[in-house]
Structure 1
Amino acid sequence: MIPTRPLNFSAVTHPGLARDNNEDCYLSLPEYGIWLVADGMGGHEAGEVASAIVRDTVKETREKHASTSLSDSIQASHRAVLEAAARGVGALGMGSTVVALYSHHNEYEVAWVGDSRAYLWTNTADGGRLEQLTTDHSYVQMLLDSGAITAEELENHPEKNIITQCIGSQELADVRVDMVHGQWQRNQWILLCSDGLSDELDDKAIAQVLCDAKDTETAADQLLHAALTNGGHDNITLQIIESPFTRRHPLAPIWQWIPYLTGRRRWDALIYGAAVVSLLVLLYSIVK
């Protein structure tokens, strides 16, 4: 049977430790099967304007015309950013990257412009498998593809953050929206993130967090915590979306109210439960 219920997901965003403003934003429309992360560029009062325009344009096009493709919605956001800059909204030269997910029944598609990323996590008996679904639109990716540098050299390249295209680029009448398609399997998550996460954590570190986490909320919180611990040099935004075939634990609605303490849900539940019982006993002894 093909699932039709809205998918479970978790999302977090943080300005990081080096900036006082957040140029990232995200969009979550589970009722439309749409999730998006946008990373603005252009500085204060510009980058956050561009990313918000991307978010709002995609939201508006999907709500008004559900048949609009994800690619067309993103292309519309490019024109909207250009038009806003021409009117004096934000600033000339502002732009944004974007990565978006559309899930429909048992299929999904991911679309992106720039270096915001999507990863597919598959939980397996031997731990799990992390696959990067997107390919960065960046200068170092071009160098890698041409054989000029190795994958190891890419990670620490001084020009790693130079991107080759973005939403709002003045030189482009249209942007190239790359897309990948796939079919959901059981025990899979898709992670969407800005480079504030992927620049701080390599694939191995991301996979370890996802492997240890029992739910998307814990995974999202722990990925954010790890990125901040590693420096938090940029804004950090991420969303984790569950496969529609994920079997939900019958106690899942209760787990989300258990505070994160040790990273192990059973221990967290025991500690929290003991604290609640102790409080009730104390209150009873007071009022008795």
Structure 2
Amino acid sequence: MNLYWAVFAMLLSDFFPENSHGCHVYVTIGRKRRDASADKQELRDYFTACMDDLAPSNTLDWRSNVDFTVLDTVWFDATLSTSCGSSGTATCWKNGLTAYAVPSYALTQAQTCVDHYDYDYGQDPPQNRYARKRRKRSREASQSTFGSALKTNLYALCLRRSVQFDEKRAKPDYYKMITFVEELLLPRSGGRRGTPWQIKFVDITLSSSPLKRPIETCGRRHFPQVFFCPSLAFLEIRFILSCTSAYNIGSTCSVRCARDKKLFGPSNTTCKRSGSNNYWSPSLKRTYCFAKG
């Protein structure tokens, strides 16, 4: 009888082997390693529960923010070799926050969560101290109350209406995700205003993410002063105006006079950004048309 159970146990262990790799334990079925998406789902669930427990917040929705940073950001997905090296994805998440986030009490808990994750999933069998603390989340985004930041609420509403996610992914609370990007990610440099958060939101989002185009489109719609230089339409009264890319950053606009007049001053200007300011350089205020003498 003992021999029977020994053979049965050997067959069972051969069919359900466990392979330890770094701080993760991967379960293989039929000798096939599970795909990376399962590993990311495990990471997202664990960190959401951990951050909810260690750094609860009324203004930050950790499910939305962990999902965004793990699934949609350039620094997590496209810079694994530089931000993470040979470390696991949990350390990558912490390294991304360390490199990009404003130091705060809430985000310092990320290090603790990494330590817990490394320990729990380094065990055999793996443990999950936060499994019982996970909360079931509605697939519909929670409604944000309209406060003084009306444009930000409209921006969040625009994203909610524009983004279609896979059924497996819960819809984020966009307002709280925007708060996360605005207040905690990519801090100001030297105490001065840096690049506006609306631009940062676009820059750190993967081009393959379903959020990329809506973030830029909704941003341009509700914060045009951030994405464009001031209009030069008033110059059309005095000049013939042509621009390479409308009033977008990097666009060059040139002016010329009618055939019977001569241009005096700079003939073209470029839309540039410095910190939070968009401006035309050089200025065309001293450009005029004179009658040919």
TM-score, scaled relative to structure 2: 0.26
Higher helix share: 2
Which gives a bigger RCO, structure 1 or 2 (Cα 8 Å, sep 6+)?
1
